[in-house]
Structure 1
Amino acid sequence: MNLAWKEIKKNKARFLILGSIVFLVSLLTFIISGLANGLSQDNAALIKDLPNGQFYMNEDSDQTYNLSRIDASTEDEVLKKHHDAVAFSIQMGFLNDQDNKQRSVAFVTSTNSKLFTNVKRGEVVLDNSMKDKGIKVGDTLTNNQYRGQLIVIGFVDQKKFSHAPVAYINTDDYKEIYRVKEMQVVFVPGDDSPQKIAGLQSFSNKDFLNTIPSFNAEQMSLNMIIWFLVIISGLLFAIFFYMMNVQKIGLYGILKAIGIKTSKLFKMMWTQMVFITVIALVLSIAFSQVFNVIAPKGMPFSLTFETTVILSIVFLIIGFIGATLSGIQIKKVEPLQAIQQGEV
């Protein structure tokens, strides 16, 4: 520990450069992770807020929820067997506000269930983001495919689907707008093992999210960037300590000659790595939280405590691996040969 601290004080510029790079890479990683989580919520909060269970769609739907049609008899059979099950439908559309301006929404309707908001005919409950567009309780909204008017009776927090605010409407109103008779999906909460239901295909929560257009591609792209940044940070540690070790071959030879064990030299290097990484991570976490506060209101950003902890642990592990790989040459150093090369 004493050796590690002395070297850091002696070579402040080198370690400051490495710490700055790790800080910038980790900060970028935290910000992109926050954006990935935020976009995930903005894309599918309606589904992600549901408890674990099984989603059932028609086998002929090609794993596409808006092409699925659940036969009424099959729906009744499942709902009678599972009292907490719910049948629901989702379809993208629009509402005209009182100024006759179109507002994109995701229409959602369901059978009676505490998992979804149920409304009477002619009523609508909207996501809170619609308040920012000037819509308030008591407003009457219209749709070109609907004969009557929909009265706004309330708002709900963080209910988005496919980056559109959710609009809960009555089942009869939904059927009139889209000229359909069947529901699209049946959800059975708490059912970890899928059941065989004739004509239906089961999906877990994660699998159903992947049936949402753009969700899988969007998350995969962002997660790939995150892991590339993590790998880059590991390479930076390996390269930095490798160059440091090459320059200190003579010093290591002298230290070995006076009886210092290789394990102690490794501990010195690991201590330096942990010191740099922890400081860089603390600063990057602090800056990412500041970014969360100053980010534009419309930007979907959500950096959770769990994600922060996981990424921090990953950075420490990657740093440890990178530093250890670069230190393999320390083990190979022969004291006499290293001393003859000259101390740097």
Structure 2
Amino acid sequence: MNIAWKEMKKNKAKFLILGSIIFLVSFLTFIISGLANGLSQDNAALIKDMPAGQFYLNDEAKQTYNLSKIESDLQEQIVEENPGAAAFSVQMGFVNDAEDKQHSVAFVTSTESDAFESVQEGEIILDSSLQDEGIAVGDVLTNNQFSGEFIVKGFVDKKKYSHAPVAYINMNNYQEIYRVMEMQAIFIPGKDAPSFSGLESFSNKSFLNAIPSYSAEQMSLNMIIWFLVVISGMLFAIFFYMMNVQKIGLYGILKAIGMKTIALFRMIWMQMMVITIVALALSVGLSQLFNVLAPAGMPFHLTIDTVMMLSAVFLVVGFIGATISGFQIKKIEPLQAIQQGEM
């Protein structure tokens, strides 16, 4: 290990360049991961914050939430027979304030349930983000497709759907706005939910993919994240491969005096660990600082669990990359390496 440390001190510039690149790649990965998590919350916090259970859509909807309609008779039967069950619908829309300024919202209505806000006719409960737009409790809001008025009764925290603040309204008001009697989905809390003819069931996680744009948005960002992780592994493999080529003579001498191949691998692994840990420490610190200082309107959410998971992945990928680069060490013959004159 002393040899590994002495080599790092002797070739500071080379290892500093690699460490800087790993720092930049890991920092960018953490930032994109935070944005992916933030956009996930901004896109589907309404669904993600619901208790564990099963969601049901019409099987003719082809796993697309917007195309689903639950027959009224089946809906009533399921809600009556399953305690805690709720039929609900979500549709994009807008409300106008007293100054006739339009605010985009996601209208949500449901049968009586603890998973959703209870709202009387003519009342509305909004996501707290609309307070920043000047709406307050007691304000009167309107909608061009609604004959009456909505009175703001309160706010809820961090309830978003399809990047729009949620607006809970009464079922009768919802039916008047959208001219539809059927609900779009049914939710039954608990893990052991029954199956129903004509309905397709989804877990909380799989139901997110039925939300338009959610899976495409998350897939794109996650692909970028894992692409950056793969790049970091390739950087380690290329860097240590080039270093090993330059040190064939040295490795030959070390083998000639009795050093085993595994000891040479340990030297590479130690150098990889030092570079990666230092780079990750810096990127984790800066990403957490960004998490605190990010503007309130930016959908950025980076948890410690995500940071720890990605850090572990970087270490594993770095280990694999460094190990692959060291396979050439096994093929080095001491006499042949010394004769090459590479020290």
Q: TM-score, normalised by structure 2?
A: 0.98
**Deviation for aligned residue 1:343:** 3.2
1:134 aligned partner: 134
Q: What CA distance in whole angstroms lies between the structure 1 residues aligned with 2:289 and 2:267?
A: 34
Deviates more, 1:255-264 or 1:317-326: 255-264
2:337 aligned partner: 338
**Deviation for aligned residue 1:295:** 2.3
1:216 aligned partner: 215
**Deviation for aligned residue 1:334:** 0.8
- 1:130 counterpart letter in structure 2: L
2:293 aligned partner: 294
The number of residue pairs the alignment matches comes to 343
Q: What CA distance in whole angstroms lies between the structure 2 residues aligned with 1:327 and 1:229?
A: 22
**Deviation for aligned residue 1:71:** 1.5
1:69 aligned partner: 69
5 Å-filtered alignment, 1:256-271, equals 256-271=255-270
5 Å-filtered alignment, 1:173-212, equals 173-192=173-192, 195-212=194-211
1:148 aligned partner: 148
User: Per-residue CA shift, 1:25-45, capped at 9, x if unaligned?
Assistant: 000000000000000000000
User: Per-residue CA shift, 1:133-185, capped at 9, x if unaligned?
Assistant: 01111111000111111111111111000000000011111111111112111
- 1:128 counterpart letter in structure 2: S
**Deviation for aligned residue 1:196:** 2.8
Q: What CA distance in whole angstroms lies between the structure 2 residues aligned with 1:204 and 1:216?
A: 15
User: Per-residue CA shift, 1:67-104, capped at 9, x if unaligned?
Assistant: 22212221121112210111111010000011101100
**Deviation for aligned residue 1:242:** 0.2
Superposition CA RMSD, Å: 1.1
User: Per-residue CA shift, 1:223-280, capped at 9, x if unaligned?
Assistant: 1101110000000000000000000000001111111111111011101101100110
Q: What CA distance in whole angstroms lies between the structure 2 residues aligned with 1:223 and 1:63?
A: 22
Contact 1:96 1:103 in 2 (8 A): yes
Residue 210 of structure 2 aligns to a residue whose secondary structure is: coil
Residue 210 of structure 1 aligns to a residue whose secondary structure is: helix
* Structure 1 segments unaligned to the other structure (5+ residues): none
* Structure 2 segments unaligned to the other structure (5+ residues): none
Task: State the percentage of identical aligned residues.
Answer: 69
Deviates more, 1:211-220 or 1:284-293: 284-293
| Structure 2 residue 322 is the aligned partner of structure 1 residue 316 | no
Contact 1:195 1:202 in 2 (8 A): no
1:250 aligned partner: 249
2:275 aligned partner: 276
Contact 1:47 1:209 in 2 (8 A): yes
| Structure 2 residue 90 is the aligned partner of structure 1 residue 90 | yes
- 1:310 counterpart letter in structure 2: M
Q: What CA distance in whole angstroms lies between the structure 1 residues aligned with 2:108 and 2:300?
A: 25
**Deviation for aligned residue 1:66:** 2.5
**Deviation for aligned residue 1:64:** 2.3
Deviates more, 1:293-302 or 1:258-267: 293-302
User: Per-residue CA shift, 1:110-148, capped at 9, x if unaligned?
Assistant: 111111111111111100110110111111100011111
Q: What CA distance in whole angstroms lies between the structure 2 residues aligned with 1:49 and 1:281?
A: 31
**Deviation for aligned residue 1:309:** 0.9
2:118 aligned partner: 118
Residue 91 of structure 1 aligns to a residue whose secondary structure is: strand
Q: TM-score, normalised by structure 1?
A: 0.97
Q: What CA distance in whole angstroms lies between the structure 1 residues aligned with 2:177 and 2:207?
A: 25
- 2:45 counterpart letter in structure 1: A
